[in-house]
Structure 1
Amino acid sequence: MTLDWVGATGRAQEIADNWQREAGPGGAIVLFDRDGMREAFAGGLASIEHSVPFTPATVNRFASISKHVLAVALLRSGLPLDAPLGSWLPELPVPLAGVALGRALDMTGGLPDMMEALWQQGVPFTATLDAEEIFALACRFPSLSAKPGTEMAYSNTGWRLGQRVLEKVTGKPYAETVAALSGELGLAFRLPYDGAEIVPGLATGYWRAGESWRRGHYGVHFSASGGIAGSAADLAGWFSALLAGRGPLSGMLEKLTAPRHFADGSESVYRLGLVCSRLGGSDIVGHGGSLTGYRNHALTAPAHGVGVVVLTNREEEALWPALTVLAALLGEKLPAAGNAPSGLFVAEEGPFWAELAPDSISFMGGFERLVADGEGGLCSLPAYLDIRLQQEGDDTLSGLIGGVRRSLRRVPVGTQLDPRLVGRWREPRFGTEIEIRTDGTALMPWPAGGKVSQLTPLPNGRALADLLHGPWRARPCLWLDAEGGLRVAGHRARILQMQRAG
């Protein structure tokens, strides 16, 4: 294959020029091969307040692109991925302690996501919480969200626990491991532990509220799940070394992307902090990242030894810009747009729902783009979650979502709130309370007296709440289980089990 560097650089320049013209937050785009950085572009501002330009050397938060760095450190340590987390962390409750380290990292462990579990209890993502407070919450989790090996559901918890395992084994803070690993390659990665820690040269993160930009804030401590900071140039240098197998990354790409399997033997696209998918005739490997005010994506084509990094300090999708640049470089056509039936769909039972637009899907709150699969169906461009659906008429979709076969039917127009949901509910372990009212609203847990949410009724004793906080939206499903209790579930956390109060 002849690589089209001219076409790729033209597309990258176009994206950077758009950021520059807007004179708001921006980003950097770096193209690289196995030998290092080839081209770099940037536009917009790293700090709107101080008119500081964003450059390829600007320090940014990598967010979840950080994950595979921990996987590298764990693999180099020789820790067995098939050993249960309780081997190192006996304080964990039995359900979590029994999850294998490998499943904790490949998202098939059923581990509830800390942030979503906190949000469902009324703790906003801006709350300041340190590592010990987060671990104490994990030690109180009553169950898993799903049986290990049955489903891929995105969760940061396994990576938080994986970091704790590594620190216990090595006896040193993970920040030192990150600095040493990147330093061997002449790169400057840094792991700040919270948003208050000063990181020299760090771009400010922004999210859009109407026509204006707002500064992003994240209170929960940073961890291996998404805490590393560094520049686009440094991140491109890291991925270049990963493609070439240089230094501490020798043989690591093959180990990170080795097939991971569900309990039934089928293969998952999510590996050890990297997602394996295809673009036309090319295998591609990458991962995205999102923190309040930061959106990033890194994509590589290992067979061709090339890739692209897109780091931004603006709360906008980065996967598609990265994909368009890589497609131009490889001479591959972008996937044809999907034509999904718009609307709200729900499974026959349980908390499983999806809202579709022609080109995207939100499955229980997890967003993915949808494209045509070339066989009359729809599939995701998996930033994280692998989705493959077939449409059966206007009102039914069926297929695989995160490795699980599901059938989703359109929610009938005029669906009314099930009166069995009405009342005051309490979770005995955490003290969380929800009051569902006859007027179709719910008083959801939130600081300063709760937060009222308009409910969207679903059939069979279910309803969706809707909560906004900054740029982020949570839509937990409230549903009656077989024992008459109220369950609270999102894509990332499904463990709250409530009983009637009073």
Structure 2
Amino acid sequence: MAPDWMRAAARANEIVANWQRDAGPGGAVVLFDRDGVREAFAGGLASIDHNLPFTPQTPNRFASISKHLLAIALLREGVPLDAPLGRWLTELPKPLAEVELGRALDMTGGLPDMMEAFWQQGVPFTATLSAEEIYALACRFPSLSAAPGTEMAYSNTGWRLGQRILELITGRPYRDIVAELSGDLGLSFRLPYDAAEIVPGLATGYWRDGESWRRGHYGFHFSASGGIAGSAADLAGWASALLAGRGPLAGMLERLTAPRHFSDGSESVYRLGLVCSRLGATEIVGHGGSLTGYRNHMLIAPALGVGVVVLTNREEEALWPALTVLAALLGQEMPAAAKAPTGLFVADEGPFWAELTPDSISFMGGYERLVEDGDGGLRSLPVYLDIRLKQDGDDRLTGLIGGVRRSLRRVPADTALDERLVGRWRDPGFGTEIEIRAGGTALMPWPSGGTVSRLMPLPNGRALADLLHGPWRSRPCLWLDADRGLRVAGHRARILQMNRVG
């Protein structure tokens, strides 16, 4: 079936018209094929402060859509993906040094995510931290979050380390490599290294605080994990060249999406900075991106040679708008929304929990949309994390989450805080402290100095904390391990190991 450009354009127009009517931040929706950009639409404001419109040529932060560019640069340089990180980064502690570069990039390496590790120690994402300060924390990690090859858990750390490796091998700043790769295709990508660096015309990122829009801020060093800035039109031009294999991107889409496997031989949907999924019977490839005030998505249907880019400077989901435009383009029906059992579920042991609404899931803080799988179960439309679940009555879910078989039971409404959790706890390696109180609260290191969080008790010596910083929510699980120490775990970082104080 030929692509329905008129139907897709109508859907794209609906999306941007809603942004325009809102008179707030906006974005651009760009349709493309192997030959280049076909149609582009935009609405809303790139800057509320200065009443500047968002256009398809407005630079925006790509966020994690940036990742696959580093993979391309590494592949072009012939860097062996099966070599351990320690081959180049000799300062890394042994658990990290032994992880293969390929696993660091495909999220199966068990590498703790830098930002979540900082969060758990009370350092907010608004803190200004350089590349060297962030790398210094990685060099202090005592362990991995999981054994390499056993689980796909989203982490930016492997991409930060991959950038460092590329720069060591080439002797060139990665920002120059990004500019050269895009420039060879007549495109203008930039890699600013921090939020203070000026990018001419850059859209301001916004998030909604109740009824008001607020400017987003991100203090960490920008890296290959998500730092590139460029326009929606340029990103669509890049994706078109990726589809066609033009210039420096010859053969790269096939190499980026080649199957990646867990240790047991099963395939992961997450490849080298791209996620492989499907829309109806059509195989699709894409990736999302999120920074404070920016939400984006890129989707490609390789067999048909078409795709869509959605870039926004508003803190709202971008996958669903992108998917509806692609569905219109392909003449596909959108998958039926899930009717999942709602509430909080938890594994019998460990820090693994999930909270479900009828059409979405938060697994240890990682959010994904859920749809019917056509076989009586639920599956994610993975932005990052592949989830496939079956319902066993009203109170149990079983299936695969990130390649790991999980069984989750509903948390009883009358669950009380386990008194064994009460007390002061300290991590000897980092000095981080948490005080859990009998009244069901905890003094958390967030930000440094402490924030009181109400705890959600879970069975068997566990509880969820709940912390907000700007538009982002952190819900670390506090749990007693077999040695009666206190562990702190999120989806992206599970390395704090605390001992009782006094």
Partner of 1:381: 381
Q: Deviations over 1:190-240 (max 9, x none)?
A: 000000001100000000001110000000000000000000000000000
Give 2:117's aligned amino acid. A
Cα distance in 1 between the residues matched to 2:155 and 2:323: 24
**Aligned residue number for residue 402 of structure 1:** 402
Matches within 5 A, 1:143-158: 143-158=143-158
Q: Aligned pair 1:473/2:470, yes or no?
A: no
Aligned amino acid, residue 296 of structure 1: N
- Please tell me the residue identity of whatever aligns with 2:307: G
Q: What amino acid does structure 1 have at the position aligned with 2:458?
A: L
Tell me the residue number matched to 1:79: 79
Partner of residue 454, structure 2: 454
Contact 2:123 / 2:448 at 8 angstroms: preserved in 1? no
CA distance in 2: counterparts of 1:88 and 1:23, whole angstroms: 50
**1:350 maps to which residue?**
350
Q: Which secondary structure does the structure 1 equivalent of 2:327 belong to?
A: helix
Query: Which residue is 1:178 aligned to?
Result: 178
Counterpart of 1:204 in 2: which secondary structure?
coil
Deviations 1:34-78 (A, max 9, x none): 000000000000000100000000000000000000000000000
Residue 303 of structure 2 aligns to a residue whose secondary structure is helix
Match of 1:168 in 2: 168
Q: CA deviation at 1:448?
A: 5.2
Deviation of 1:501 (Å): 1.0
Shift of the alpha carbon at 1:2? 1.6
Question: Measured at CA, do residues 448 and 104 of structure 1 come closer, stay the same or move farther in structure 2, by a change above 3 Å?
Answer: closer
- What do residues 271-312 of structure 1 show as CA deviations (whole Å, max 9, x unaligned)? 000000000010000000000000000000000000000000
Cα distance in 1 for residues equivalent to 2:434 and 2:448: 14
Q: Distance in 1 between matches of 2:131 and 2:43?
A: 35
Q: In the alignment, is the contact (CA less than 8 A) between 2:122 and 2:448 conserved in 1? A: no
Output the CA distance in 2 between the equivalents of 1:243 and 1:409: 43
Secondary structure in 2 matching 1:287: strand
> Could you tell me how far apart the structure 2 residues matched to 1:430 and 1:281 are?
49
Q: Distance in 1 between matches of 2:410 and 2:446?
A: 31
The within-5 A match list for 1:70-469 is 70-447=70-447, 449-469=449-469
> Secondary structure of 2:391's match?
strand
Letter in 2 for 1:344: L
Deviation string for 1:439-478 (max 9, x for gaps)? 0000000235200000000000000000000000000000
Q: 2:274 and 2:99 mapped to 1: Cα distance?
A: 20
Q: Which amino acid aligns with 2:317?
A: E
Q: Percent identity?
A: 83
Output the CA distance in 2 between the equivalents of 1:338 and 1:251.
Answer: 37
Change (3 A) 1:94 1:448: closer
Structure 1 moving runs of 4+ over 2 Å: 446-449
CA distance in 2 between counterparts of 1:259 and 1:417 reads 44
Q: Any gaps of 5 or more consecutive residues in structure 2?
A: none
2: CA distance, partners of 1:187 / 1:87? 34
Distance, in Å, in 2 between the alignment partners of 1:337 and 1:151 is 26
Match of residue 14 from structure 1: 14
User: For residues 102 and 255 of structure 2, what CA distance do their matches in structure 1 show?
Assistant: 12
CA distance in 1 between partners of 2:317 and 2:293 (Å): 11
* Distance in 2 of aligned mates of 1:413 and 1:432: 31
**Which whole-Å CA distance do the structure 2 matches of 1:331 and 1:262 have between them?**
34
Which residue type is aligned with residue 423 of structure 1?
Answer: G
Deviations 1:359-410 (A, max 9, x none): 0000000000000000000000000000000000000000000000000000
Per-residue displacement from partner, 1:311-339 (whole Å, max 9, x unpaired)?
Answer: 00000000000000000000011000100
Equivalents in 2 of 1:295, 1:192: separation in Å? Answer: 18
Amino acid in the other structure paired with 1:453: S
Partner of 2:54: 54
Matches of 2:5 and 2:182, distance apart in 1 = 27
Give deviations 1:166-201, integer Å, cap 9, x for gaps.
000000110000000000000000000000001100
Q: In structure 2, what is the Cα distance between the partners aligned to 1:357 and 1:400?
A: 18
| Separation in structure 2 between the aligned mates of residue 3 and residue 301 of structure 1, nearest angstrom | 11
**Is contact 2:422-2:437 (8 Å) kept?**
yes
In structure 2, C-alpha distance between the alignment counterparts of 1:356 and 1:34, rounded to whole Å: 39
Please tell me the residue identity of whatever aligns with 1:17.
A
Distance in 2, Cα, partners of 1:448 & 1:493: 18
Structure 1, residues 231-254: CA drift from partner, whole Å, max 9, x if none?
Answer: 000000000000000000000000
Structure 1 equivalent of residue 500 of structure 2: 500
**Superposed displacement of residue 413, structure 1:** 1.1
1:82-107 per-position Cα deviation (integer Å, ceiling 9, x unaligned): 00000000100000000000000000
Code of the aligned partner of 1:462? R
Q: Deviations over 1:9-30 (max 9, x none)?
A: 0000000000001100000000
Secondary structure of 1:50's counterpart equals coil
Measure the CA separation in 2 of the matches of 1:101 and 1:143: 17
Q: Distance in 2 between matches of 1:448 and 1:249?
A: 45
Aligned length: 502
Q: What is the Cα deviation at residue 270 of structure 1?
A: 0.2
Kept after mapping to 1: 8 A contact 2:259/2:271: yes
Aligned-partner SS, 1:76: helix
For residues 478 and 152 of structure 2, the distance between their equivalents in structure 1, rounded to whole angstroms, comes to: 21
* Secondary structure class of the residue paired with 1:89: coil
State the alpha-carbon separation in 2 of the partners of residues 369 and 446 from structure 1.
Answer: 29
What secondary structure is seen at the aligned counterpart in 2 of 1:258? coil
2:159 alignment partner, SS class: helix
CA contact (8 A) 2:44 2:53 kept: yes
Distance 2:480 2:87 in 1: 36
d(CA) in 2 for partners of 1:32, 1:478: 46
Amino acid of the structure 2 residue aligned with 1:81: L
Distance in 2 (alpha carbons) for counterparts of 1:352 and 1:430: 24
Superposed CA deviations along residues 414-455 of structure 1, whole A, max 9, x for unmatched, are 100000000000001110000000000000002352000000
